[in-house]
Amino acid sequence: MRKQIAAANWKMNLTIQEAEILIDKLVSEDSSLQSNQTTIYGVPFPYLSIVLSTLEGKNKGFAAAQNCSERNNGAFTGEVSAAMLRSMGVEFVILGHSERREHYGENSAMLVEKLNRAFESKLKPIFCCGEPLHIREANMHNSYVEDQLKETLFNFSGSQLNGFIIAYEPIWAIGTGKTASTQQAQEMHAHIRTVLANHFGSSVSDSISILYGGSVKASNAKELFGQPDVDGGLVGGSSLVADEFATIIKSLKS
Ligand code: PGA
């Protein structure tokens, strides 16, 4: 059975003091995860150590980086490699977030390299895709997202993608308070699963967790996660508020 996942994306927010208070609160929440559920905290690089040590041995989730380099190692000042992250015990990495595509010029070719580095280091990617508003308004969203997947994930094998994680995040819904309707989310998630099934086979596509991202909140999580192809969420703003995110975790399907 594929995993149901509540993934936090703190982005470039919080001081270390605020981050410690937040992760401590979430870890002390009196709720345990079911065997098919996972919580992942995508935090800024300097906070990974503290989040890793707070989570250690508690069955309350995993840490994720929000990016990694497309290079192995060497003279690349300011970059962080997949191998470095893995060596400190980080399990996951968010790749291809629309903010990185938009502000840091990440394209499909670069993302293939980042995925390669992650797989080589046994760092599990949370791979983001999603369309901008003008594509949605032109009713081109299905083919747009399909192309994003073809240009990247189709370079890998079915066995590499077994149990993989994709986050569908319509750009017009990120940080805008505008959530895709449950129907829009389910339709796109079903489309993504069909695209993957046609290429990799249904046993691979059925194993892939497809998260919805874009203004997920405590008040809409249950309905979104209740859709058959929505396997949880990648959550920005609401993951910065302990009570909100705790409710989002509790909204996962069991
Ligand atoms: P949001 O961000 O929940 O603040 O819309 C989601 C994301 O960008 O991952």
Query: C-alpha 246: how far from its chain's center?
Result: 17
CB 24 within 8 A of CB 54: yes
CA of 91 to the centre of ligand 1 (A): 21
Residues with CB under 6 A from ligand 1: 9, 169, 174-175, 213-216, 234-238
CA of 236 to the centre of ligand 1 (A): 4
Distance in angstroms (rounded) separating the CA atoms of residues 174 and 195: 24
Q: Indicate if the pLDDT at residue 31 is higher than 80.
A: no
Distance in angstroms (rounded) separating the CA atoms of residues 222 and 248: 7
What is the band of 140 on the pLDDT scale with cuts at 50, 70, 90?
A: very high
Q: Catalytic residue at 199?
A: no
What is the band of 212 on the pLDDT scale with cuts at 50, 70, 90?
A: very high
CA-CA-CA-CA torsion sign (96, 83, 235, 208):
positive
Q: Indicate if the pLDDT at residue 75 is higher than 90.
A: yes
Cβ density class 85-99: b for 16+ within 10 Å, e for less: bbeeebbbbbbbbbb
CA of 244 to the centre of ligand 1 (A): 13
What is the band of 239 on the pLDDT scale with cuts at 50, 70, 90?
A: very high
Catalytic residue among 91, 97, 99, 189: 97
Q: Catalytic residue at 97?
A: yes
Three-class DSSP category at 99: helix
Mean pLDDT of 86-97: 98
For ligand 1, atom 1: residue with the closest CA = 236
169, 224, 244: residue to mutate for ligand 1 pocket, most atoms within 8 A of CB:
169
pLDDT of residue 109: 98
What is the band of 178 on the pLDDT scale with cuts at 50, 70, 90?
A: confident
Q: Indicate if the pLDDT at residue 30 is higher than 80.
A: no
Q: Tokens 């980086």 appear where?
A: 65
What is the band of 32 on the pLDDT scale with cuts at 50, 70, 90?
A: confident
CB 164 within 8 A of CB 196: no
What is the band of 175 on the pLDDT scale with cuts at 50, 70, 90?
A: confident
Distance in angstroms (rounded) separating the CA atoms of residues 42 and 11: 8
Atom of ligand 1 minimally distant from the CA of 9: 9
What is the band of 180 on the pLDDT scale with cuts at 50, 70, 90?
A: confident
pLDDT of residue 177: 81
**Cα-based distances in Å from 73 to 76, 81, 83, 117, 139:** 7, 7, 9, 10, 42
What is the band of 105 on the pLDDT scale with cuts at 50, 70, 90?
A: very high
What mean pLDDT value characterizes the chain?
96
pLDDT of residue 194: 98
Which tens digit of pLDDT belongs to each residue from 144-155? 999 999 999 999
Atom of ligand 1 minimally distant from the CA of 42: 9
Distance in angstroms (rounded) separating the CA atoms of residues 71 and 74: 8
Three-class DSSP category at 132: coil
- Indicate the burial class of 39 (C-beta count within 10 angstroms; 0-12, 13-18, 19 or more): buried
